[in-house]
Amino acid sequence: MQTILYYVQQIPNFPAKYHTLTAQLISAIVFIALLFLLAKVFTFVCNNYLSRLVKFFKAEKWFNALTEKKFFTALGIVIAAMAAIDFHPIFISENIDWITLVMEKLTGMFVLFSLSYLGFTILNTLDKLYGRNPKVPIKGVVQVCKIILFLVTVLFFISLLLGRKPLYIITGLSALAAVFSLIFKDPILGFAASIQLTMNNLIKIGDWITVDSAGADGNILDISLTSVRVQNFDMTIVSVPTYDLISKPFKNWSGMYEAKARRIQRSILIDIDTVKFLDKEMLARLKKIDLLKDYLAGKEKEITEFNAQHNVHESLLNGRHLTNLGTFRHYAEEYLKSRPYITQKDPGFTLMVRQLPPNSQGIPLEVYCFVNTTVWTDYEGLQSDIFDHLLAVLPEFGLYAYQQPSGRMLAKFVNK
């Protein structure tokens, strides 16, 4: 500053009362130009030399993320901002109050925004590396940190403009707390929900979830502060509010993939009119089936002994007798056990064929088991194979599946 003032004073015929003002303006311009030059030099050094340290440690993943998010550029600007604090007293004197005040505030803003920019680049880098981590997605946490950093930056910016301490500004803004709580209602709720979802490991990127209230049934693409993006199996994308996954029920299918098994739970509706006791002819025919041979022999012996003990003769209403439905139910269970793709070693994977309460359409005979695949197409194929077989063998047991009359069936009846 003094050097510039000396040369200004040497200008001939220049009014003396403007010497200090002119020298201060020139010094401020030189100061700004120097900061611009320092920022260029330091960003060049950081991008071309300091970044090599990351490569030296073979952290290629980090190097690519830091470069893409311009971390080294931001670091160079911060170094220039730190230099601005040291150079400020050299170029800016206190001879002219308003210029000094303006330059102090500009310097302070330059330091504040450069540090804020560096903070955002660090958060963006973390989001790039771990924001979509399937195990612990931190995108929601990163977004909260960005909001906090933004609010802190705004707070210090207002503090610089007004020349007041940040605590004073906070006290003044306390009256607006209710307004801010309304403005940031969704982020606050989303932040609380994202912490619960992450800490309890309820969802992660790639999970198949079903949220009936939102029409979501597909894989999670992204978990952010306020929403979870789900790509449905029809390729549509649904945005589910993060808080809804805490306040409303949803289904996560990840346990199915971890167990490497998927459940089959489907019923065959048996026509009630076809349910009857086994006669001797049908019993003789069913004994030829390998899956029923031992079962029928054991049951026949057990029933004969029971009926003999209780003096039961010809009446079907007395004593015990085999039915075609009960025999078919046992056959279905044995058939499932004989299939190599049915999971049955673990007791947690239940295998049974059960009879549900009759309804207006017949008797539901439910197949409940697990197949050893989670691939959708394979699962559907195996499920279809099971029911193809069971439906095809029903007539062998004198049973028929319930089916509502169609126009073709009615036409045949009329023609008769």
- pLDDT, averaged per 10 consecutive residues of the chain (416 residues), comes to 51 55 67 80 80 68 78 84 71 61 76 87 82 64 80 81 70 62 71 72 86 90 84 92 86 87 94 90 89 87 78 65 91 93 85 93 94 92 95 93 75 67
The DSSP element (H or E) to which 376 belongs, if any, is helix 376-393
Per-residue pLDDT at 37: 85
Per-residue pLDDT at 339: 92
Per-residue pLDDT at 131: 62
Per-residue pLDDT at 11: 58
Per-residue pLDDT at 164: 72
How far apart are the C-alpha atoms of 411 and 383, rounded to whole Å? 33
The DSSP element (H or E) to which 121 belongs, if any, is helix 97-130
Per-residue pLDDT at 117: 87
Per-residue pLDDT at 379: 94
C-alpha dihedral (402, 389, 350, 371), degrees to nearest 10: -130
Asked if residues 323 and 276 have their Cβ atoms less than 8 Å apart, the reply is yes
DSSP 323: B
Q: Could you tell me if residue 246 is left (phi over 0), alpha (psi between -120 and 50 degrees) or otherwise beta?
A: alpha
Per-residue pLDDT at 334: 93
Per-residue pLDDT at 13: 56
Per-residue pLDDT at 409: 65
Residues contacting 360, CB < 8 A, separation 6+: none
* 335: its two tokens: 């058939």
Per-residue pLDDT at 314: 61
Per-residue pLDDT at 267: 95
